[in-house]
Amino acid sequence: MDIETYRSYCLSIKGAEEKTPFDKTTLVFSVKGKMFSSTNIDTFELINVKCDPEETLLLREKYEEVIPAYYMNKKHWNSILTNGKITNGQIEKWIKDSYYLVVAGLPKKVREEFQNE
User: Are 48 and 60 contacting, i.e. CB atoms less than 8 angstroms apart?
Assistant: no
CB atoms within 10 A of CB 5: 13
115 located within any domain: no
117 located within any domain: no
88 located within any domain: yes
Amino acid at 109: K
User: Are 47 and 60 contacting, i.e. CB atoms less than 8 angstroms apart?
Assistant: no
52 located within any domain: yes
CA–CA distance, 94 with 80 (Å, rounded to integer):
9
How confident is the model over 60-108, as pLDDT tens digits? 999 999 999 988 899 999 999 999 999 999 999 999 999 999 999 999 9
How confident is the model over 2-22, as pLDDT tens digits? 999 999 999 999 999 999 999
**Residue-range definition of the domain harbouring residue 101:** 3-107
117 — pLDDT class (breaks 50, 70, 90): low
25 located within any domain: yes
CA–CA distance, 60 with 57 (Å, rounded to integer):
5
> Given a cut of 70, is residue 115 above it in pLDDT?
no
41 — pLDDT class (breaks 50, 70, 90): very high
Query: What is the domain count for the chain?
Result: 1
30 located within any domain: yes
69 located within any domain: yes
Q: Note the pTM of the prediction, 2 decimals.
A: 0.94
51 located within any domain: yes
CATH number for the domain that contains residue 64 = 3.90.1150.30
pLDDT of residue 112: 84
CA–CA distance, 19 with 110 (Å, rounded to integer):
21
